[in-house]
Amino acid sequence: MDIRGPRLKKQSDAALEFISSMASDREIARHVIAVNMAHMAGLVRAGEVGRPTGSACMKFLLSASPDIRPGSKAEDFHQQLEQDAVDSLGVETAGFLNFGKSRNDQVATAIRMELRLRVLDLLGAVLELQDSLLGVAHRYGSSLMPGYTHLQRAQPVTLAHHLFAHFDALGRDSDRLVQLYSRVNLSPMGAAALAGTSVGVDRDSVAELLGFSGTVRNSIDAVSSRDFMVEATAVATMAMLDASRLAEEQILWSSKEFGFVELDDSYSASSSIMPQKKNPVVSELVRAKAGSVLGCLVAAAAVLKAMPYSYNLDLQEATPHLWRAMEDASRSLKVLAGATATMRPLTGSMAKAVAHDDSTAVALANHLVKSQGLSFRQAHAIVGELVRLSAEGGVSLPETVSSQLPRVSSKHGKRVAIDEATSRQVLDPLRFVSSIATSGGANPSFIRSDAAKRRRELTSNRARLSELGSQLRASQERLLRVSSGLAREVKTKS
Ligand code: ARG
């Protein structure tokens, strides 16, 4: 018996192939089976289906394969599974599987179940990348390096401080994933096609069997909404944007022009023609995949835009973008974590880059304000002019200060003087960072407590992740126990 029923006289093979979601149903197939189990358990518990029927269905479901059968004529895995059940148990028994449920609530539920796992996987990847940043900061963090604005050397910072900036951005990604998880982890089951059902299945207990923390309260919302999908893709995009900025720095820093870092051979590739080449290919591909993931976000959002409520097959078109985004993001972050953990900062050339580049000029301006009673704007103008004279004359800034400051300062309102040794001291990069007083700044003496704080955050996020993972595993085991218990009744009764 064909479960599609006699409503349609015929269907075109081309149309069937076109509307099929089989290719992407691979991602949710095992959850579709689980949803069928939980629903059947609910039907039996409510007395809507007799125990022998429920038991036979459970037995079938427990051994059902989540593989898409090649050449299957079904529109989707939901249909394949039910058709297989009917073929194997007969319609008098398997015909109860879809009593009080629809593919509409079922697919939304299965997507949420798979997405929970993907969110946790991505969270794990974010934490891994954060961990690798802390590792590098621990080993090399106190080295000085130029901080940049407009990709021009701006002010010296410590390497740790720079890496903590990336860590903190990723920390917000991990917060977003945890918040997203709570919105994904709600069960649409019981919504049926859209209006709910007269079949007495307790939504809360089905939700609990599937490990959800509750139900989507409105049945139309339950089958229509995919905002959780767009949100997940957006969170994945944000994490990838963050990762791409780190990847981009690895690419720049590993160039001869910067020479700040040596990427490990294991995360590089060679050239087929230029024997000397070592290319930062992992970082490049992470940078590129950020674009692909952003594309998935735009595609999924565009599918949802202006779609009338409730279920439309358009929704099926959005789902593959979600899986691609989550997969690309997880893989990218994991491999970037490896590339980051194994990179070797070339601390000597970083330090050299801050030694003689006038990037501490603001310290000289601040010194003029504090010691000579000039306003900051006056001091800024004086130092700016001294830097220009130093560059034009090819004379170092401290020398220029000792020889030209009196003349230049008098042009700007007050004649002052500083000797070369003092100005050298004031302009020293280490002194510059060490004098930073604001919390959250690049003072090397902050590194230890800044690192410890972040290490604690990482540890508590890891605990959170493993707790969510064990909750899911426990609910899977519970569902299996309940289902097997019911399945065993067949033997005892027959
Ligand atoms: N294959 C569909 C999807 O992925 C499942 C739901 C189909 N529902 C329907 N009324 N045709 O969204």
What CATH number corresponds to the domain at position 59?
A: 1.10.275.10
User: Poorest-confidence range of 34-43, 84-93, 458-467, 485-494?
Assistant: 485-494
Q: 189 in a domain, yes or no?
A: yes
User: Within this chain, do residues 311 and 222 fall inside the same structural domain, yes or no?
Assistant: yes
Residue 121 sits in a domain of what CATH number? Answer: 1.20.200.10
- Separation in Å, CA 434 to CA 161, 426, 444, 449: 13, 11, 6, 15
Is the separation of the CB atoms in 319 and 24 below 8 Å? yes
| DSSP tally for the chain: helices H, then strands E | 20, 6
To test the pocket of ligand 1, the residue of 75, 101, 107 to mutate (highest count of ligand atoms within 8 Å of its CB) is 107
Which of 313, 321, 323 best tests ligand 1's pocket when mutated (most atoms within 8 Å of CB)?
313
What tokens were used for 383?
């130092």
User: What percent of the chain lies above the pLDDT cut of 70?
Assistant: 99
Residue 76, ligand 1, Cβ within 6 A: yes
In this predicted structure, the answer to whether residue 490 has a pLDDT above a threshold of 80 is: no
**Cβ(411)–Cβ(379) below 8 Å:** no
Contact between 255 and 348 (Cβ < 8 Å): no
Q: How far is the CA of 111 from the centre of ligand 1 (A)?
A: 11
Question: Which pLDDT does position 493 carry in this prediction?
Answer: 43
The pLDDT of 411-433, averaged and rounded, is 94
Same domain, 413 and 280: no
- The reply to whether 150 belongs to the active site is yes
Cβ–Cβ < 8 Å for 338, 220:
no
CATH of the domain at 374: 1.10.40
Query: Is residue 441 situated within a structural domain?
Result: no
Asked if residue 288 has pLDDT above 70, the reply is: yes
Question: Does ligand 1 lie within 6 Å of residue 22's CB atom?
Answer: no
Closest atom of ligand 1 to CA, residue 76: 1
Average pLDDT score over the chain: 96
Q: What is the pLDDT of residue 73?
A: 87
Residues 175 and 45 in one domain: no
Among 33, 29, 85, smallest CA distance to 57 is for 85
* Contact call for residues 220 and 194 (beta carbons, < 8 A): yes
- The total of structural domains in the chain comes to 3
Do 229 and 217 share a structural domain?
Answer: yes
300 and 384 housed in the same domain: no
Cis check for the bond before 310: say yes or no (omega within 30 of 0). yes
317 or 489, which is more confident?
A: 317
Spacing of C-alpha 147 from chain mean position: 26
CA of 316 to the centre of ligand 1 (A): 6
Q: What is the pLDDT of residue 491?
A: 65
The boundaries of the domain holding residue 53 are: 13-101+480-493
Preceding omega of 266 cis (within 30 degrees of 0): no
Alpha-carbon torsion angle 474, 480, 484, 487, nearest 10: 150
Query: Is residue 223 within 6 Å of ligand 1 at its C-beta?
Result: no
Nearest CA to ligand 1 atom 12: 316
Let me know if residue 442 belongs to a domain: no
CA 381–ligand 1 middle distance (angstroms): 68
**Catalytic annotation present for 367:** no
* Structure token pair of residue 482: 């309940």
Q: Do residue 289 and residue 165 come from a single domain? A: yes
Quote the ligand 1 centre to 98 CA distance (angstroms).
14
Closest residue CA from atom 3 of ligand 1? 316
Dihedral sign computed on CA atoms, order 210, 213, 219, 223? negative
In tens, the pLDDT along 186-227 reads: 999 999 999 999 999 999 999 999 999 999 999 999 999 999
Quick check: 299 pLDDT over 60? yes
19: CA distance to ligand 1 center in Å? 9
Catalytically annotated residue among 182, 255, 271, 449:
271
Q: Is residue 433 part of a domain?
A: no
Decide whether any atom of ligand 1 lies within 6 Å of the 316 Cβ. Answer: yes
Distances (CA, A) of 394 to 39, 367, 383: 81, 24, 16
Q: How far apart are the first and last CA of the chain?
A: 25
Looking at the structure, tell me whether residues 210 and 325 fall in a common domain: yes
Is any ligand 1 atom within 6 A of the Cβ of residue 313? yes
Q: With bands split at pLDDT 50, 70 and 90, how would you rate the model's confidence at 494?
A: very low
Mean pLDDT of 364-380: 95
Q: So what's the pLDDT on residue 405?
A: 96
Q: Say if CB 392 and CB 375 are below 8 A apart.
A: no
- For every residue of 429-451, DSSP letters joined together read HHHHHHT--STTS--GGGHHHHH
Q: What is the pLDDT of residue 4?
A: 87
**Is the distance from the beta carbon of residue 315 to the nearest atom of ligand 1 less than 6 Å?**
yes
Q: Would 91 be classed as within a structural domain? A: yes
Cα gap 481→114, rounded to integer Å: 21
| Cα(249)–Cα(151) distance, integer angstroms | 11
Under the banding of pLDDT at 50, 70 and 90, the label for residue 300 is very high
- Residue 243 CA to ligand 1 center (angstroms) comes to 34
159 falls within a domain: yes
> Is 2 within the bounds of a domain?
no
186: three-class secondary structure by DSSP: strand
Residue among 8, 104, 105, 223 to mutate when testing ligand 1 (max atoms within 8 A of CB): 104
Q: What are the tens digits of pLDDT across the range 226-250?
A: 999 999 999 999 999 999 999 999 9
| pLDDT score for 311 | 97
Query: Do 272 and 305 share a structural domain?
Result: yes
Distance in Å, CA 107 to ligand 1 centroid: 7
pLDDT in tens, 256-269: 999 999 999 999 99
Residue 342 lies in a domain: yes
Q: Are residues 207 and 286 in the same domain?
A: yes
With a 6 Å cutoff on the Cβ, whether 107 touches ligand 1 is yes
The ligand 1 atom at the shortest distance from the C-alpha of residue 25 is 4
User: pLDDT exceeding 90 applies to what percent of the chain?
Assistant: 94
Of ligand 1's atoms, which has the minimum distance to the CA of residue 77?
1
Q: Could you tell me if the CB of 330 is within 6 A of ligand 1?
A: no
Same domain, 200 and 225: yes
Rounded Cα–Cα distance for residues 442 and 355 (Å): 17
**Structure token pair of residue 139:** 């080993």
- Active-site annotation holder among 12, 150, 266, 494: 150
Bridge partners of residue 214, in order along the sequence: 186
Instruction: Indicate the pLDDT class of residue 413, thresholds 50, 70 and 90.
Output: confident
Distance 423 CA to ligand 1 centre (A): 73
104 CA distance to ligand 1 centroid (A)?
A: 6
Q: What's the pLDDT at 260?
A: 98
- pLDDT of 72-109, one tens digit each? 889 999 999 999 999 999 999 999 999 999 999 999 99
Check whether 360 has a pLDDT greater than 90.
Answer: yes
The pLDDT of residue 25 is above 70: yes
What's the sign of the alpha-carbon dihedral 168, 171, 175, 181? positive
For residue 21, the ligand 1 atom closest to its alpha carbon is 1
Hey, what are 141's tokens? 């963090």
Index of the ligand 1 atom closest to the CA of residue 319 = 4
Q: Which of 22, 28, 78, 229 to mutate to test the pocket of ligand 1 (most atoms within 8 A of CB)?
A: 78
Residues 6+ apart with CB under 8 A from 363: 426, 427, 431, 432, 435
N residues, the chain: 494
pTM over 0.75, yes/no: yes
Contact 93, 56 (CB under 8 A): yes
For residues 42 and 136, state if they share a domain.
Answer: no
Pair (124, 79) in one structural domain? no
